[in-house]
């Protein structure tokens, strides 16, 4: 069962609300039980946000690899492929970061 602190939005998992909010210190009474639908949305958002963060992580690795490839400068065709990978990785990273920001704004966090 999930409980949300109505003061700060902290989400607690357990049979009961915590004695005290670990974030803002509000008492147990400040917590509200989330409906099954709302809880499912939070669990799905958790996984989705993890996936976005993994994409950001891998995109940064691709960017670093592409940069190394550009610096090795073997031939123009090769450098061109690395340049494209470098730019595409940037787009992937920023797109997922922007989506995470949207989730946070909608309370999908
Ligand atoms: Zn709180």
DSSP codes joined into one string, 79-101 = HHHHHHHHHHHHHHHHHHHHHHH
> Who contacts 27 (Cβ-Cβ below 8 Å, separation ≥6)?
19, 20, 21
On the question of pLDDT at 107 being above 80, the answer is: no
On whether both 30 and 48 belong to a single domain, the answer is: no
On whether both 25 and 57 belong to a single domain, the answer is: no
Task: Give the Å distance between the CA of 102 and the centre of ligand 1.
Answer: 22
Q: What is the structure's pLDDT at 99?
A: 93
On whether both 55 and 7 belong to a single domain, the answer is: no
Task: Give the Å distance between the CA of 108 and the centre of ligand 1.
Answer: 17
pTM of the shown model: 0.74
Q: What is the structure's pLDDT at 109?
A: 67
On whether both 52 and 29 belong to a single domain, the answer is: no
Task: Give the Å distance between the CA of 47 and the centre of ligand 1.
Answer: 23
CATH code, 20: 2.20.28.10
Task: Give the Å distance between the CA of 13 and the centre of ligand 1.
Answer: 14
On whether both 10 and 52 belong to a single domain, the answer is: no
On whether both 73 and 30 belong to a single domain, the answer is: no
Task: Give the Å distance between the CA of 96 and the centre of ligand 1.
Answer: 28
On whether both 79 and 101 belong to a single domain, the answer is: yes
Domain extent, residue 104, equals 43-109
- Count how many domains the chain has: 2
On whether both 68 and 106 belong to a single domain, the answer is: yes
Task: Kindly report, residue by residue over 92-102, the tens digit of the pLDDT.
Answer: 999 999 999 99
Element (H, E) at 105: helix 76-105
On whether both 56 and 99 belong to a single domain, the answer is: yes
CB 29 within 8 Å of CB 16: no
Handedness of CA 82, 84, 85, 89 (dihedral sign): positive
On whether both 59 and 92 belong to a single domain, the answer is: yes
What's the whole-number mean pLDDT along residues 70-91?
A: 97
Which is it for strands 2-5 and 31-33: parallel, antiparallel or unpaired? Answer: antiparallel
Task: Give the Å distance between the CA of 48 and the centre of ligand 1.
Answer: 24
Task: Give the Å distance between the CA of 100 and the centre of ligand 1.
Answer: 22
């Amino acid at each position: 069962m999930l409980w949300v602190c109505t003061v700060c939005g902290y989400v607690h998992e357990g049979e009961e609300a915590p004695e005290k909010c670990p974030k803002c210190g509000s008492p147990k009474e400040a917590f509200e039980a989330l409906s099954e639908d709302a809880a499912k949305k939070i669990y799905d958002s958790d996984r989705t946000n993890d996936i976005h963060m993994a994409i950001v992580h891998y995109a940064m690795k691709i960017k670093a690899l592409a940069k190394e490839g550009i610096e090795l400068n073997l031939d123009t065709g090769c450098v061109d492929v690395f340049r494209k990978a470098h730019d595409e990785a940037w787009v992937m990273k920023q797109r997922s970061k922007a989506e995470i920001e949207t989730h946070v704004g909608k309370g999908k966090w």
